Amino acid sequence: MEFTVAIDGPAAAGKGTIARALADRFGFAYLDTGLLYRAVAAKGGDPVQAAEDLSAQDLARDDLRTLAAGQAASRVAALPAVRSALTDFQRRFARTAGGAVLDGRDIGTVICPMAEVKLYVTSSPEVRAQRRWREVGGDLAQVLAEVRERDARDMGRADAPLRPAEDAVLIDTTDMTIDQAVSVASAAVRARFPERTTP
Ligand code: C5P
């Protein structure tokens, strides 16, 4: 059985938390597609070559979660040739037997426009910066500036800009707990997939 859940939204909105919870509850495979772009940027050299040669080992580096790696990722992610080198892998993953959940910026709009469930997870830049700052520390004002800068780059690029798919369920997590956000997301999956049992 193939079943794809596409989750898009800006940095630190809660996509990964929701995606992992859905993967757990419904037994889906999970792909954090941001990690692909982070690994391409971290590899250095020609980014298109890096995307074409990306290996599991590249994704296992322990320096991919930093703010700097996120900024570098959003720069290489604006290159159409990098995006197209990563497309087939993501599409194949999306059709994993047993179902898959992918989170990123263009999953519902470009990678899997036929996904059975599309979610667009967002929250205010201030709340997202707070969340990121709690994880990485440093200067909150600087973290907020970086969140805004990355939003502008991801939403403003010509190729696959971040935006909600027309048929996406919007989840604004600004005033939600994690449990509330996960339960809205789970309800959207169950609505399309009532026969899947959840623990
Ligand atoms: O989600 P994450 O913060 O790890 O993504 C890092 C960067 O990778 C994003 O800011 C975005 O520029 C890029 N990205 C993308 N398309 C995706 C996933 C991530 O362009 N599907």
Residue-wise pLDDT tens digits, 138-162 = 999 999 999 999 999 999 999 999 9
Q: Is the pLDDT of residue 195 over 90?
A: no
Q: Residue of the nearest CA to atom 5 in ligand 1? A: 34
Phi and psi angles of residue 7, each rounded to the nearest 5 degrees, phi first: -120, 120
Residue with the smallest CA separation from ligand 1 atom 1 is: 34
CATH number at residue 133: 3.40.50.300
* Contact between 145 and 152 (Cβ < 8 Å): no
- Determine, yes or no, domain membership for 199: no
In a domain, 72, yes or no: yes
Q: How far is the CA of 64 from the centre of ligand 1 (A)?
A: 12
The Cα 48–Cα 64 span in angstroms is: 18
* Averaged pLDDT for residues 126-137: 93
**Shortest-distance atom of ligand 1 to CA 75:** 12
Tell me, using a 6 A CB cutoff, whether residue 118 lines ligand 1. Answer: no
198 lies in some domain:
no
Give the number of domains in the chain: 1
Minimum CA distance residue for ligand 1 atom 20: 77
Q: What is the pLDDT of residue 189?
A: 96
Structural domain contains residue 124: yes
What's residue 136's pLDDT? Answer: 86
Q: Distance, CA 2 to ligand 1 centroid (Å)?
A: 24
Residue 126 lies inside a defined structural domain of this protein? yes
Q: Which domain holds residue 165?
A: 4-191
Q: Which of 154, 155, 157 to mutate to test the pocket of ligand 1 (most atoms within 8 A of CB)?
A: 154
The answer to whether the CB of 101 falls within 8 A of the CB of 8 is: no
